[in-house]
Each structure stands twice: as structure tokens, then as C-alpha cells.
Amino acid sequence: MRAAIGQFAVTPDTRTNAQTCIRLMAQAAAGQADMLVLPEALLARDDSDPDLSVKSAQYEDGDFLRRLLRESAGNTLTTILTLHVPTSDGRATNTLFALRGGQIIARYQKLHLYDAFSIQESRRVDAGHSIPPLINVAGMRVGLMTCYDLRFPELALAHALRGAEVLVLPAAWVRGPLKEHHWQTLLAARALDTTCWIVASGECGTRNIGQSRVVDPLGVTVAAAAEEPALLFAELSALRVAEVRERLPVLANRRFAPPQLS
């Protein structure tokens, strides 16, 4: 699989953000990518209004997703991103969408809400309740996660035990003391926990760290961005997963069942 990551800074203007996504989709398709992972919460962001992402929430048939689906119809790329979708007055779910061929092929409502480091995502966002099924991209099985999910190994492990070879993670990882260290460490840890590839796209800008990465099943970073907008490409191999799992059979050697996610 040829994977791409589009890293950029989300603006307060929804149409500008949609156009950035469309440009990255076109560039990824031109680069022969099978999959493009974009950051988390792409509708709108403003440092002066932490609730703008939810205030800007759109339903699936809204203009933002319709524009991306039109772009998706013109290529074979699988594009993965998250948007806020309204649930009730002033509330939304942080929903991951996988797009291919002009269709939504998968949805996932973020399970773990970021109620940490003086931020309370649950104040305006409703948590999901189920682990999404794996999707198939270029013959590889892909598990879906979002940002803060990275800190909870049970979800990554659940995907791996269901057969995932790749884990994708749109994110908006907030800056702060040791946060870059946490990001790098946790990406490598989840790769090693599961012996999966990790493809993580981080939103950059003044609030979030960027630092998108592709990590191989032995925890080695094979492609990375810094804090500026970027488009990364990396080749992911199912053979690499099989080789690592033969040498490091942590999934087969497990003696305890993972806790059930509710």
C-alpha cells in the first residue's frame, strides 16, 4: 500500500479548509497513493474560540463532505478524516469518515474524548459507543482511531486481534510540556503493542504540534513531518507485518483477553 499523510493548519473558514483537503486529495492521487490520512476536526478551528469546531458542525449531507465526495469520485484513493456532526443543540460527535469512489465506506465516532490537560472535549462532544469494522485498502486491513484514542492500547489491540495490519489516526495533538514526547512514544508503543503500521496525521499551526508520522511494526519511524504543512508518502507492506509477527509474536503470545470497550 502507498500511504499519504496531509498535514495542514485548519483555519476558521470552512470553505478554505475544504479546498485544502481537495488539493491534498488531488496531490495524493497524482502521487499514486492508495490512502490519504488527513488531520482531526477539519471544519473550522480558531485559537480564540475553542468551541468553533462544534459550532461549525455539519451533517453528512453538508457542503463540506459533499465537496470532498465529489473529488473522491474521480479517483480510487481512500481518504480518511474527521468532522463534527451535530447530535443535539450545541453538541456533536467527532466522527471519522473513510471516503472512496465518491461514497462513505466507513464511519467511526470517537470513543475516547479528550478530558485531560485542562481541556474537556466532552463538554460539547458526545462519545461513540462501538469499535468500527476494519476497512480494506489495497489488500491490507486497516483499523480506525482518532487522536486521544492513541493513549488507550485496548482499542489498537482490539483492531489487531481482528486482523488489522495498519492503524490510522487523524489527530489534533495539543501543544504542551512533554506532549511531543508523548506523541512520539505512544505512536511507537502502539506499533509495538500490535505489530501494525501506524499512519498518524497531525494538525499543525499555533495550537497543535503537527509531527505527522508513519511508523512501522517494529516502532521505527519511516516518514515524518515537522510543524509546517506537508504531504508525506510511504510504502506499507503486508510482508513486513508478517515478518515482524514471526519474529515478535506478541499477539500470539498473549495470555489475557483485553478489557471490553463499551
| 147 classed as catalytic | yes
21, 71, 121, 147: which is the annotated catalytic residue?
Answer: 147
232 phi/psi in degrees, rounded to 5? -105, 150
User: By three-state DSSP, how is residue 201 classified?
Assistant: strand
| 243 classed as catalytic | no
110, 121, 165, 203: which is the annotated catalytic residue?
Answer: 110
Report which DSSP code applies to 148: G
**Angstrom distance (rounded) from CA 38 to CA 119:** 23
33 CB-near residues (< 8 Å, 6+ apart): 2, 3, 4, 77, 233
- The number of beta carbons lying within 10 Å of the beta carbon of residue 259 is 11
194, 173 contact by CB (below 8 A): no
21, 40, 165, 204: which is the annotated catalytic residue?
Answer: 40
| 203 classed as catalytic | no
Partners of residue 136 on adjacent β-strands: 141
Point out the residues that are catalytic: 40, 110, 147
